[in-house]
Chain A
Amino acid sequence: MAQQEVKEYQKYYVPEQSIWPIIGAVALFLIAVGAGTFTVEVSKGKEGHGEWILLAGIATLIFMVTGWFRNQIHESMSGLYSEQLSRSYRQGMAWFIFSEVMFFAAFFGALFYARTIAIPWLGGASNNAMTNEVLWPGFEAVWPLLQTPGGTESTQMGWFGLPLINTLLLLTSSVTCHYAHVGLEQDKRKQLSWMLGLTIILGCIFLALQVEEYIHAYEIGLTLDSGMYGNTFFMLTGFHGMHVTLGTVILIVLWFRIQKGHFTPDNHFAFQAGSWYWHFVDVVWVMLFFFVYIL
C-alpha cells in the first residue's frame, strides 16, 4: 500500500484465509459428539469412546486457540491493526460479556422463579391449596429448600466462613486487576506485573477454596441432586467457577505476554478484554453471594 494513502486513511485489516476457524469448528464438533456420548455413558455406567472424543475435541480447541492467538499477537505486534480494528475487538468483547450475563440470567431466573413461585405453590400458596393437600401433603415451602416435596433432605451452606473469605478475595482481586490496568496505562511496568501477578494468585486461592467448599458441601449432604437448593447452588457456583478458571488462564497468558514486553499504554486490547472479563466474573460472584448464600 502506498505511503501517502496510509496518512489519509488507515486501512482496515481484513485477514487473508485462515486455517484456525475450520479447526475450531471441528473441535466444537468433537466436543459436542464426545460430551453427548460421554454423558449417556456416565449416566448409564457404560464403557465407550465418549471421553476420548471429548478429550480429542478439547485438545483440538486448545491447539486452535493457541494457534489463532499466536497469529493474532504476531499481527498485532507487527502493527497491522488500526484504531478502528481495535475498536471492533473491544465492542466484540463487550457483547460477548453481555451474552455471558444472559447465560447467568437464565440460572438466576430459575432460582428466583423457584423461590418466589414454584416452591410456594407446591406449599399451597395462591390458589394451590389442593396441590399441596393432595399431591405433596405435609410439604412446607421454606427457602433454602432443605426438604424437597419428594422427601430428599440436605443441609444449608452458611455464608459466613469460606464464602465470605472468597468474596473478599475476589473483590480484592478486582481492585488489584484495576491497579494493574492503571499501571499499564501509566507505563509503570513493575506495578502492572506485580498487581496482575497478585490478581492471578488471588484467583487461584479462590478456586482452591471453592474446591474445598464443594468437598465440604458433599460431606454435609448438599449435593447436585438434592433438589432445587442444591441444583441452583451447584449450577450457579459451578458455572461461575468455570468462568473464574477461564479468567485465570487468560490472566496468566497476559502475565507472560507482559514479561515479554507486550502491550503499550495506548494499545492493549487483550489486556483490557482480560480485565473486563475478570471484573465480570467478580460481579457475578457478588450476585451469587447475595442471592445464593445470604438471602
Chain B
Amino acid sequence: MSTATDTLHHDEHDEHHHHHIPKGIKRWLLTTNHKDIGTLYLWFSFIMFLTGGAMAMIIRAELFQPGLQIVDPNFFNQMTTVHGLIMVFGAVMPAFTGLANWLIPMMIGAPDMALPRMNNWSFWILPFAFLILLSSLFLEGGGPAFGWTFYAPLSTTYSSDSTALFVFSVHIMGISSIMGAINVIVTIWNMRAPGMTWMKMPMFVWTWLITAFLLIAVMPVLAGVVTMVLTDKYFGTSFFNAAGGGDPVMFQHIFWFFGHPEVYIMILPAFGIISHIIPTFARKPLFGYASMVYATASIALLSFIVWAHHMFTTGMPVAAEMFFMFATMLISVPTGVKVFNWVATMWRGSMTFEVPMLFAIAFVVLFTIGGLSGLMLAITPVDFQYHDTYFVVAHFHYVLVTGAIFSIMAAAYYWLPKWTGVMYDNTLAKWHFWASLVSVNVLFFPMHFVGLAGMPRRIPDYALQFADFNKWISIGGFAFGLSQLIFLALLIKACRKKGEPASAQVWEGAEGLEWEIPSPAPYHTFETPPIIK
C-alpha cells in the first residue's frame, strides 16, 4: 500500500480544483460529502438514542415499584412502543449507516459514496420521519401503543387514529433505508480502488455489503405489511381478519420475514467493527478472515428461513415448529465461528486495553451471553415457557445494547481521532466504559431471573414477588442512562477539538487505508484511487 502517499501528492496537486468547504447551515442541508453525511447520521442517531433512552427511563420509573404510580397504562404502552421503534430505526440503524458513510469510502479507497446526492436524500428523510412519529404521541388518542412489532389486531382493530401517521412514517423510513443500502452496495461493488479484490476487503466493508443486501430484500416487505395494516384499518380489507378469510397470524409471518433479517441488519456491521478493533489491539491479523466472510454470509442467508421462531406459541403445525427450531439453532454455528475467531485473534497477542478494546471485549463476552439465551429461546418446548416474558427482553437487550450499541461505541472510540483529529478525553472514556459496563449488567441480567419466574413483558404493573429484582433493574437502568451523559460530554469536547492532536495511524497496531490518510481526514480523500498491492 505504498502508493497511498502518491495519492496524497495527487490530492495536493488537485487542490486548486477543490471548492472550499462550505460554511453554515447550508453545508449540512445540501451536502453531498460522505463525511458530512456520516457525521449527520451519527449525531442524529445519538440524539435518537438519548430520546429513546429517556422513554426507557419512564418505563423503568414506572416499574420501580409494583402498582401503577407514574404514568397511565396506555401511555406506558406508547413508551414501550416508541422506545423500540426509535432505538431500532432511529438509533442503531442510522448509527451503522453513519459509520458506513464515514468509513467505507476511506476503507476501499473511493472518492465518495457512489451516489452522493441520493445519500443526502436518504439522510434528511429520517429527521422528518421521526418528527412525524414523535409528534403522533401528542395527538388525540395518543401515539402508537401496540409494541414496536405492531401485531394485528392491536394495530388494526384496537389502535388509535395516529396509526395512519405511523404507517406513513415507517414508509418514508423504509425509503431512506433502501436508498442508503443501495448506495452502500453500489459503492462497494463499483468503487473499490484497483487491487482491492473481494477477499482483501476490510471486514467492516464485507459485513456492510451483506447487511445492505438484507436491507434491500426486507425493507420492502415491511412496507408491504404496514400497507396491509393501513388498508385493514381504514379501507375495509381483511388481510389479518379471519372473518374476511385473512389471518392475524399471517401478519406475524410477514412481519417476522422482515423482522428476523432486520435483527441481523443490526448486528452484522457490529461484527465487522469488532473484527477491526480486536486485531489492532491484539497486534495480530484477524484469525480466519475467510471464515469470517463465509460465516457472515451464512448468517445472512439463514436469517431468511428462521422467522417463525418468534411465533412458536401461535399454534403452527408441529413440523413447522421443528423446522424453525433446527434452522434457528443452525445459526449458532457461524456465530460460534465468529466468536471463536475473535478469541483466537486475542490468543497470545500483545494486547493493550485502550477504550475501544475494552468495549470490544465487553462485546464479545456480553453478546455471547445474549446469543446463548437466544439458543435457549430457539428450543420450541422451552420457548413455550419463556415466550413474552422478561427473559426475551433480557435476551434481545443483551444482543442489541451490549451487542450493537457497545460495538457502535467501540467504533466511535476507535475512529473518533480520525474524524476529529484530536485524541478524546481518555479519563472520561474510561469512566463511560466502566459505568456503562456495570450498570448495563445490573439493568439486564436480573431480567433473566424475573423472566424465568414468569414476569410478562410490556406490562406496567407486576406481581409482588418481582419487586426486589425490578428495583435493581430500574437502578441499573437509571445508572446506564446517566452514564451516557459522560459519552455526550466526551463527544462535545472531542468535536470542539479539545485534546492532543492525533497522528495519522492513531493506534500503533491499526492497519487499513483509513489510517494512511492524515487525522482529521481531509474533506476529500482518494480523488485518485490508491493502488492496493
Q: Which residues of A contact B (CB under 8 A)?
A: 1, 5, 9, 11-12, 14-22, 24-26, 28-29, 31-33, 35-37, 39-40, 42-44, 68, 84, 87-89, 91-92, 95-96, 98-103, 105-107, 109-110, 113-114, 117-119, 121-122, 126-127, 135-136, 145, 148-150, 152, 224-225, 227-231, 235
Residue contact B117 to A18, C-beta cutoff 8 Å? yes
Could you say which residues of chain B place their CB within 8 Å of the CB of A35? 164, 168
Chain A to chain B contacts (Cβ below 8 Å), 21 pairs:
A11-B528, A14-B32, A14-B112, A29-B129, A29-B132, A32-B172, A36-B132, A43-B234, A91-B186, A96-B178, A99-B182, A103-B224, A105-B221, A106-B228, A109-B253, A119-B245, A152-B244, A224-B231, A228-B238, A228-B244, A229-B245
Residue contact B238 to A227, C-beta cutoff 8 Å? yes
Docked complex: B220-257 residues within 8 A CB-CB of A: 220-221, 223-225, 227-228, 230-231, 233-239, 242-247, 249-250, 253-254, 257
B29 within 8 A of A: yes
Docked complex: B423-464 residues within 8 A CB-CB of A: none
Residue contact B115 to A224, C-beta cutoff 8 Å? no
**Most chain-B CB neighbours within 10 Å: which of A36, A103, A136?**
A36
Could you say which residues of chain A place their CB within 8 Å of the CB of B238? 148, 150, 225, 227-228, 231
Residue contact A1 to B124, C-beta cutoff 8 Å? no
The 4 closest A-B pairs by CB, nearest first: A106-B224, A225-B236, A150-B243, A228-B245
Q: Which residue of A lies closest to B36 (CB)?
A: A17
Could you say which residues of chain B place their CB within 8 Å of the CB of A122? 242, 245, 247
The minimal Cβ–Cβ distance linking A58 to chain B, given in whole angstroms, is: 13
The minimal Cβ–Cβ distance linking A240 to chain B, given in whole angstroms, is: 13
Residue contact B161 to A18, C-beta cutoff 8 Å? no
Contact of B164 among A9, A40, A87, A119 (CB under 8 A): A40
Tell me the complex Cα distance, A234–B496, Å. 56
B118 within 8 A of A: yes
Stretch at the interface among B211-219, B360-368, B392-400: B211-219
The minimal Cβ–Cβ distance linking A214 to chain B, given in whole angstroms, is: 15
Residue contact B32 to A149, C-beta cutoff 8 Å? no
Residue contact A114 to B124, C-beta cutoff 8 Å? no
Could you say which residues of chain A place their CB within 8 Å of the CB of B112? 12, 14
Could you say which residues of chain A place their CB within 8 Å of the CB of B230? 39
Residue contact B32 to A227, C-beta cutoff 8 Å? no
Contact of A95 among B27, B185, B249 (CB under 8 A): B185
The minimal Cβ–Cβ distance linking B93 to chain A, given in whole angstroms, is: 16
Tell me the complex Cα distance, A119–B178, Å. 33
Main secondary structure of the interface of A (DSSP, over half): helix
Q: Which residue of B lies closest to A30 (CB)?
A: B128
Q: Which residue of B lies closest to A226 (CB)?
A: B244
Residue contact A92 to B237, C-beta cutoff 8 Å? no
B353 within 8 A of A: no
Residue contact A26 to B128, C-beta cutoff 8 Å? yes
Tell me the complex Cα distance, A87–B115, Å. 11
The minimal Cβ–Cβ distance linking B170 to chain A, given in whole angstroms, is: 9
Stretch at the interface among B14-22, B61-69, B283-291, B466-474: B14-22
Could you say which residues of chain B place their CB within 8 Å of the CB of A95? 181-182, 185-186, 216
Contact of B32 among A16, A26, A44, A88 (CB under 8 A): A16
Tell me the complex Cα distance, A92–B178, Å. 11
Could you say which residues of chain A place their CB within 8 Å of the CB of B111? 12, 14
Q: How many residues of B contact A (CB 8 A)?
A: 83
With contact pairs A15-B117, A91-B189 given, residues A36 and B168 touching in the complex (Cβ less than 8 Å)? yes
Residue contact A231 to B244, C-beta cutoff 8 Å? yes
The minimal Cβ–Cβ distance linking A23 to chain B, given in whole angstroms, is: 9
Could you say which residues of chain B place their CB within 8 Å of the CB of A91? 114, 185-186, 189-190
Could you say which residues of chain A place their CB within 8 Å of the CB of B117? 15, 18, 20-21, 68
Contact of A118 among B110, B217, B246 (CB under 8 A): B246
Residue contact A148 to B250, C-beta cutoff 8 Å? no
B171 within 8 A of A: yes
Residue contact B168 to A114, C-beta cutoff 8 Å? no
Residue contact A33 to B165, C-beta cutoff 8 Å? yes
Could you say which residues of chain A place their CB within 8 Å of the CB of B380? none
B156 within 8 A of A: no
Docked complex: B22-80 residues within 8 A CB-CB of A: 22, 26-27, 29-32
B242-276 vs A, Cβ < 8 Å mask (1 yes, 0 no): 11111101100110010000000000000000000
Could you say which residues of chain B place their CB within 8 Å of the CB of A21? 30, 117-118, 120-121, 124
Tell me the complex Cα distance, A88–B217, Å. 19
With contact pairs A17-B31, A88-B190, A145-B245 given, residues A224 and B237 touching in the complex (Cβ less than 8 Å)? yes
Tell me the complex Cα distance, A186–B308, Å. 52
Q: List 17 other contacts, CB 8 Å, given A84-B190, A118-B245.
A: A14-B524, A17-B27, A17-B32, A28-B128, A29-B125, A36-B162, A36-B168, A103-B221, A105-B224, A106-B257, A114-B239, A122-B247, A126-B317, A145-B245, A149-B242, A224-B237, A227-B245
Could you say which residues of chain A place their CB within 8 Å of the CB of B227? 235
Could you say which residues of chain B place their CB within 8 Å of the CB of A98? 216-217
The minimal Cβ–Cβ distance linking A152 to chain B, given in whole angstroms, is: 7
Contact of B129 among A5, A32, A136 (CB under 8 A): A32
Tell me the complex Cα distance, A228–B168, Å. 23
The minimal Cβ–Cβ distance linking A146 to chain B, given in whole angstroms, is: 10
B286-311 vs A, Cβ < 8 Å mask (1 yes, 0 no): 00000000000000000000000000
Tell me the complex Cα distance, A145–B190, Å. 48
Could you say which residues of chain A place their CB within 8 Å of the CB of B244? 148-150, 152, 225, 227-228, 231
Contact of B186 among A16, A44, A92 (CB under 8 A): A92
Tell me the complex Cα distance, A99–B244, Å. 29
Residue contact A42 to B234, C-beta cutoff 8 Å? yes
Tell me the complex Cα distance, A88–B112, Å. 12
Residue contact A87 to B250, C-beta cutoff 8 Å? no
B175 within 8 A of A: yes
Tell me the complex Cα distance, A198–B429, Å. 66
Could you say which residues of chain A place their CB within 8 Å of the CB of B116? 14-15
Residue contact B221 to A110, C-beta cutoff 8 Å? no
B325 within 8 A of A: no
Residue contact B237 to A102, C-beta cutoff 8 Å? no
With contact pairs A35-B164, A36-B164, A106-B225 given, residues A114 and B246 touching in the complex (Cβ less than 8 Å)? yes
The minimal Cβ–Cβ distance linking B227 to chain A, given in whole angstroms, is: 8
B199 within 8 A of A: no
Residue contact B32 to A29, C-beta cutoff 8 Å? no
Contact of A32 among B124, B171, B242 (CB under 8 A): B171
B502 within 8 A of A: no
Could you say which residues of chain A place their CB within 8 Å of the CB of B345? none
Q: Which residue of A lies closest to B133 (CB)?
A: A32
Q: Which residue of B lies closest to A131 (CB)?
A: B242
**Most chain-B CB neighbours within 10 Å: which of A25, A96, A118?**
A25
B101 within 8 A of A: no
Tell me the complex Cα distance, A126–B247, Å. 15
